[in-house]
Chain A
Amino acid sequence: MNLRIAVAALLVAGPAAAQAYQPSPENLQSRQWFQDAKLGLFIHWGISSQLEDGEWVMNNRNIRVADYERIAPLWNPVKFDARAWALTAKNAGMRYITLITKHHDGFALWDSRVSDFDVVDRTPYGKDIVKQLAEACREQGLKLFLYHSQLDWRHPDYFPRGGTGRESGRPESGDFNRYLDYMDAQLTELLTNYGPIGGIWFDGMWDKPDAEWRLAKTYGMIHKLQPAALVGSNHHKLPFPGEDFQMFERDLPGANSAGFNTTEIGTLPLETAETMNDSWGYRINDRAWKTPRALVHEAVEAAGRNANFLLNVGPMPNGEFPAEAMNILAELGKWTGVFGESVYGTRGGPIAPRPWGVTTQKGDRIYLHLLNWPDRVLGLGPVAGKVTKAWRLDDKAPVTFKAVADGLALSLPARSGDPVDEVIVLELSPARP
């Protein structure tokens, strides 16, 4: 390693430099946009999809690199239609897409110049996936975030090995800094050749938590190439300096049902990433599909906790979304079509999550999301500000309210059936200047 670079890296990575991260104005603006956007579509796709057994198949079945590479020539996703993906996302109410560019298997979904292990050089399909989706997103007014795995089960310089990818048949040697140079080069490609990028969604650092990942260097490079791009990393810890949002894998912020999430919530914008069934990448026999209702509930629960909801789809090897996923996205679209104003542009509301549901707020409007409330009366604690009007969002039916004890008692209009979410709007008298 070049001594000058090493010293520079140490300086950049040092605590003083770390505290010095000052997000640019464009970056701060992006964070606002991100929090307003609320809903995103996560897409897990790659040559791993060809085996229809989830994106961890290489590691789980101890497939060696040499054997895994045989999958690439088999992958020919002739039904892939970037515009259809973007349109499906938009119609579901998604405001951004987060696409796998390289997962742990190291396969690049774009035409990389620093590796031939990519879709253009190794598959009969031969076209740049990232490029097509970047264009389609631009057309549809969606932002594109790029998932990039720091962990790499194929690259020989990903050494010393971490907790996974140990059966890949690679020699027990390698230069980790050379791997990081390679990663930075690939990130540079992604951040220069595909127009404005919403952000970089890192994953895999947990594989070697104690390694020197040169985060400051990589993050600095990203912020320099695209100051508005947000950096986030799925390391399950409080964000490190240089990161712009905090993500939670398959958990609401503060929860840890997954077993590996932190329950600490930092001050950055938040995002919950969730699967539609039990897998991220397509798995032919994963039948554990969640109901549209359960997923809408989780999206609303996330919004009530001031977090975005990044809902994943694992397209099939041919490039189509599974029918179950299409149905979920269609149902989500019906919900956002009617109830969108109660999530987009909102922040977590003034009342913390309650047994009956959550609240969001935008300006003078508080949205009560009754996710679990069969009764037609509802008691609330004190509401800061004076409630002047209350109604149900979808049918504008008036809601009466009465000051009781130290709070407010609402009498709700009758409802038929058991709606996915009953949204009550409380309008406050405008704050005095």
Chain B
Amino acid sequence: MTQSKALFAPARLLTALALLAAAPAAAQVTPLDSARNQFEDSKVGLFIHWGIYSLLADGEWVMNNRSITSAEYEHLAPRFNPTRFDAASWVALARKAGARYITMTTKHHDGFAMFDSKLTDWDIIDRTPFKRDVIAELAQSSRADGMPLVLYYSQLDWHSLDYFPRGGTGQKSGRPESGDFNRYLALMDGQLEELLTRYGPVAGIWFDGAWDNGQVDWHLDHTYALIKRLQPTALVVSNHNDLPHPGEDYVTYEAFVRPRNMPVGRHYPSEVSEKINDTWGYRVHDYLYKSPETLIRNMVKAAGAGANYLINVGPMADGTIQPEFVERLTAMGNWLSRYGRSIYGTRAGPIPARPWGVTTARGDTVFVHVLDWKDPVLAITGLDRKVRSAGYVGRSDHPTFSPVAGGVALGIAPPGPSEPDLVIELILEPARR
């Protein structure tokens, strides 16, 4: 996502790009445009929530949820010694899952830096016996693999004394009722500068937590400009579920809870983040695992909405990833190795989500993802051109297609109960230019 590889950009997208820039020289694609474009092409990412909270095995919000004070919480750091952590194996797992980028928590709401920060000793080098810079190792392994790395950074901080006035959370942390918010912002900018200067090319910064306090000035323009100054193609995104602030490059939203306002008029790449079970950070008693089929189908639905699918794991305190996650990620990767061309590099298809499923598209090809249909005839509507040929992805037989008034009737062999998605590939007549 950082180095612009010349990827095929569909006509639709070029049009969108042309529309978004008001300047006459709109057709010129900047390196940032290119990064955004490649981000959209990548379609699948692996989210990693990891921090000292994983010791308590009760999710990444445990400090707040159990009203643990900062002083108490600090006892965790000397116990954090994830000797089985192996960045290369995480990257390999991401690759195996079909992920084309990794988004890693560098600092969550507990304020603990998983990297060697010179601006605070509340970090993995100064406070833990492990004394290894997890971000550095992950950045190195990602680079070696060609896997773009997006860095999650929490604006909200339950540990910093200067995170004051307090917002809606972290009230029971036992901090004095005073602090200098601007000094906190300086720490944040300083840590971002560390992340953007010491770890090689960073694909993006994924913010979270500004929602904690709507009353303060987060000086977003300043921070976003800093990021772009340090790494012009690092994408900026914030998990605030609101319209994008200027300087943000894509929109992200949790699960399928769409933000109340989606941006209109300008095209934004988008991303859906989802948990494999019901927690982001490791929780030992979270058994609400989604089935591999559900995850695959949700990934397909995201692609049908034009969105990337950022699937999360919360590694355990020893640095390993629980087998239930590995099994599901492997299933996703197996599916993608067979059907991936209907996902990677696509955009939302011409037919919006329907009771039977979704569509994705690339160039003159429309992929019809049949997620819920039992009958041998599927009639679809909304293609702006005639169908030239029809085939299945991952199968050697062919569906039939015949025009009917108002659409096209496909004669299909409906998916079996174990098939999460029946993928039909329709090649359309070329668009008239």
Q: Which A residues are within 8 Å of any B CB, using their own CB?
A: 352, 354-356, 372-382, 400, 402, 404-412
Given A375-B354, A377-B406, A379-B409: A405 touches B377 (CB 8 Å cut-off)? yes
CB-defined contacts of A381 to chain B, threshold 8 Å = 374-377
CB <8 Å contact, B377 and A380? yes
CB <8 Å contact, A405 and B379? no
Can you name the residue of chain B whose Cβ is closest to the Cβ of A402?
Answer: B404
Known pairs A381-B374, A406-B376 / 18 extra A-B pairs, C-beta < 8 Å: A355-B355, A356-B355, A375-B354, A376-B407, A377-B408, A379-B377, A379-B378, A379-B379, A380-B377, A381-B376, A381-B377, A405-B376, A405-B400, A405-B410, A407-B377, A407-B411, A410-B379, A411-B405
Given A375-B354, A379-B409, A379-B410: A407 touches B375 (CB 8 Å cut-off)? yes
CB <8 Å contact, B404 and A409? yes
CB <8 Å contact, B354 and A374? yes
CB <8 Å contact, B355 and A382? no
CB-defined contacts of A410 to chain B, threshold 8 Å = 379
Alpha-carbon distance A404/B378, docked complex (angstroms): 10
Alpha-carbon distance A400/B407, docked complex (angstroms): 13
CB <8 Å contact, B402 and A404? yes
Alpha-carbon distance A180/B373, docked complex (angstroms): 51
Task: Verify if B372 is at the interface (C-beta below 8 Å from A).
Answer: yes
Q: Which of A356, A372, A375 contacts B407 (CB 8 A)?
A: A375
Chain B nearest CB from A32 CB (Å) reads 30
Task: Verify if B356 is at the interface (C-beta below 8 Å from A).
Answer: yes
CB-defined contacts of B402 to chain A, threshold 8 Å = 402, 404, 409
CB <8 Å contact, B355 and A405? no
CB-defined contacts of B374 to chain A, threshold 8 Å = 352, 354, 381
CB-defined contacts of A374 to chain B, threshold 8 Å = 354
Task: Verify if B428 is at the interface (C-beta below 8 Å from A).
Answer: no
Alpha-carbon distance A355/B410, docked complex (angstroms): 17
Q: Which 9 interchain pairs have the tightest Cβ spacing?
A: A405-B411, A379-B377, A407-B377, A409-B409, A377-B379, A355-B355, A377-B407, A411-B405, A381-B375
CB-defined contacts of A377 to chain B, threshold 8 Å = 379-381, 404-409
CB-defined contacts of B404 to chain A, threshold 8 Å = 377, 400, 402, 404, 409, 411
Q: Which B residues are within 8 Å of any A CB, using their own CB?
A: 354-356, 372-382, 400, 402, 404-412
Q: Which of A356, A372, A406, A412 contacts B406 (CB 8 A)?
A: A412
Alpha-carbon distance A380/B375, docked complex (angstroms): 6
Alpha-carbon distance A406/B402, docked complex (angstroms): 13
CB <8 Å contact, B377 and A409? yes
CB-defined contacts of A408 to chain B, threshold 8 Å = 377
CB <8 Å contact, B381 and A372? no
CB-defined contacts of A382 to chain B, threshold 8 Å = 376
Chain B nearest CB from A407 CB (Å) reads 4
Chain B nearest CB from A108 CB (Å) reads 46
Alpha-carbon distance A417/B408, docked complex (angstroms): 23
Chain B nearest CB from A348 CB (Å) reads 16
Can you name the residue of chain A whose Cβ is closest to the Cβ of B402?
Answer: A404
Chosen A-B contacts, 15 in total, with CB atoms closer than 8 Å, are A354-B375, A355-B373, A374-B354, A375-B379, A375-B380, A377-B379, A377-B407, A382-B376, A402-B404, A404-B402, A407-B375, A408-B377, A411-B405, A411-B406, A412-B406
CB-defined contacts of B356 to chain A, threshold 8 Å = 355
Given A405-B409, A405-B411, A409-B409: A355 touches B379 (CB 8 Å cut-off)? no
Can you name the residue of chain A whose Cβ is closest to the Cβ of B399?
Answer: A405
CB-defined contacts of B376 to chain A, threshold 8 Å = 379, 381-382, 405-407
Alpha-carbon distance A198/B354, docked complex (angstroms): 43
CB <8 Å contact, A355 and B372? yes
Alpha-carbon distance A164/B341, docked complex (angstroms): 58
Can you name the residue of chain B whose Cβ is closest to the Cβ of A408?
Answer: B377
Chain A nearest CB from B229 CB (Å) reads 47
Can you name the residue of chain B whose Cβ is closest to the Cβ of A405?
Answer: B411
CB-defined contacts of B378 to chain A, threshold 8 Å = 379
Alpha-carbon distance A408/B409, docked complex (angstroms): 9
CB <8 Å contact, A379 and B405? no
CB-defined contacts of A375 to chain B, threshold 8 Å = 354, 379-382, 406-407
CB-defined contacts of A372 to chain B, threshold 8 Å = 355
* Residue from the set A375, A382, A405, A411 with the largest chain B CB neighbour count within 10 Å: A405
Alpha-carbon distance A361/B378, docked complex (angstroms): 22
* Residue from the set A376, A378, A409, A412 with the largest chain B CB neighbour count within 10 Å: A409
CB-defined contacts of B406 to chain A, threshold 8 Å = 375-377, 411-412
* Residue from the set B375, B381, B400, B407 with the largest chain A CB neighbour count within 10 Å: B375
Alpha-carbon distance A410/B408, docked complex (angstroms): 10
* Residue from the set A380, A404, A406, A410 with the largest chain B CB neighbour count within 10 Å: A404
CB-defined contacts of B410 to chain A, threshold 8 Å = 379, 405
Chain B nearest CB from A286 CB (Å) reads 26
Can you name the residue of chain A whose Cβ is closest to the Cβ of B411?
Answer: A405
CB <8 Å contact, B409 and A404? yes
CB-defined contacts of A376 to chain B, threshold 8 Å = 381, 406-407
Alpha-carbon distance A377/B412, docked complex (angstroms): 16
Alpha-carbon distance A404/B377, docked complex (angstroms): 7
Chain A nearest CB from B419 CB (Å) reads 16
CB <8 Å contact, A379 and B375? yes
Chain B nearest CB from A356 CB (Å) reads 5
Can you name the residue of chain A whose Cβ is closest to the Cβ of B382?
Answer: A375
CB-defined contacts of A412 to chain B, threshold 8 Å = 406
CB-defined contacts of B405 to chain A, threshold 8 Å = 377, 400, 411
Chain A nearest CB from B412 CB (Å) reads 8
CB <8 Å contact, A406 and B411? yes
Chain B nearest CB from A371 CB (Å) reads 9
CB-defined contacts of A409 to chain B, threshold 8 Å = 377, 379, 402, 404, 409
CB-defined contacts of B373 to chain A, threshold 8 Å = 355
Can you name the residue of chain A whose Cβ is closest to the Cβ of B409?
Answer: A409
Chain B nearest CB from A408 CB (Å) reads 6
Alpha-carbon distance A356/B381, docked complex (angstroms): 15
Chain B nearest CB from A384 CB (Å) reads 14
Alpha-carbon distance A382/B356, docked complex (angstroms): 18
* Residue from the set B355, B356, B374 with the largest chain A CB neighbour count within 10 Å: B355
CB-defined contacts of B372 to chain A, threshold 8 Å = 355
Chain B nearest CB from A96 CB (Å) reads 33
Alpha-carbon distance A254/B216, docked complex (angstroms): 52
Alpha-carbon distance A356/B406, docked complex (angstroms): 17
Can you name the residue of chain A whose Cβ is closest to the Cβ of B400?
Answer: A405
Can you name the residue of chain A whose Cβ is closest to the Cβ of B357?
Answer: A355
CB-defined contacts of B375 to chain A, threshold 8 Å = 354, 379-381, 407
Alpha-carbon distance A354/B409, docked complex (angstroms): 17
Alpha-carbon distance A412/B407, docked complex (angstroms): 10
Alpha-carbon distance A381/B411, docked complex (angstroms): 10
Alpha-carbon distance A373/B381, docked complex (angstroms): 12
Chain B nearest CB from A312 CB (Å) reads 29
Chain A nearest CB from B1 CB (Å) reads 36
Can you name the residue of chain B whose Cβ is closest to the Cβ of A404?
Answer: B409
